[in-house]
Amino acid sequence: MADIVVLDYGSGNVRSVQRALQNTGSSVEVTIDPDRALQADGLVVPGVGAFAACVAGIENVNGARIIGQRLAGGRPVLGICVGMQVLFEGSTEHASGAVHQGLGEWPGVVDQLTAPVLPHMGWNNVRVAHGSDMFAGVEDERFYFVHSFAARTWTLHPEEPFPAPKVSWANHGDDFVAAVENGPLWATQFHPEKSGDAGLQLLANWVKTLG
């Protein structure tokens, strides 16, 4: 049984994430305890609401240090929605021409989608990266999105011997990053916990990497 911690830094939606992960047969705890967050097989960083507020909440519980230490040791982390966005260098959301600083695990800035209707709310297809482990068995399924901001470019292309990240895309007005598999760091712009059976399969695929 996988031991998973959902980081409880003040973002909403933690209980639905917990319940979805429990459906994979995992033991799931919602906590801010740093030792538990460091020692668990997998750490989930959820996120709803404003980018800057999520970053502040993560910083308040030393989440950036915890995430960094886990990744340095090759220990899996999964970001969801704004929990994915904060992994980039920054965001222009409510920034009045500036950029709110993110955690900087990936280069690039999260900005507003250029779509006639925002937020992007509902089910959408994903152009799945070749060889994706995240989407195994659900490559043709749709997933549930609720957002107005996203990463619209991807610039991290590590050279050998490191494998290139697997980046999956979706479109709402223009293309944006829907999911990333980057070694031990996975993330989705959509909500797998709200995406029915397809979302549960995706979470189960992540849990398989924790052994």
100 is known as an active-site residue? no
147 is known as an active-site residue? no
Question: Can you tell me the distance from the alpha carbon of 192 to that of 138, in angstroms, rounded to the nearest whole number?
Answer: 12
Among 54, 81, 93, 181, which one carries the catalytic annotation?
81
Mapped onto helix, strand or coil, the DSSP state of residue 38 is helix
Among 93, 105, 141, 193, which one carries the catalytic annotation?
193
SS (H, E, C) 169-200: EEEECEEEEEEEEECCEEEECCCHHHCHHHHH
Neighbours of 22 (CB within 10 A): 13
For residue 142 the two structure tokens come to 């749709």
- CA 51-147-143 angle, to 5 degrees, is 130
Question: Active-site residues: which are they?
Answer: 81, 191, 193
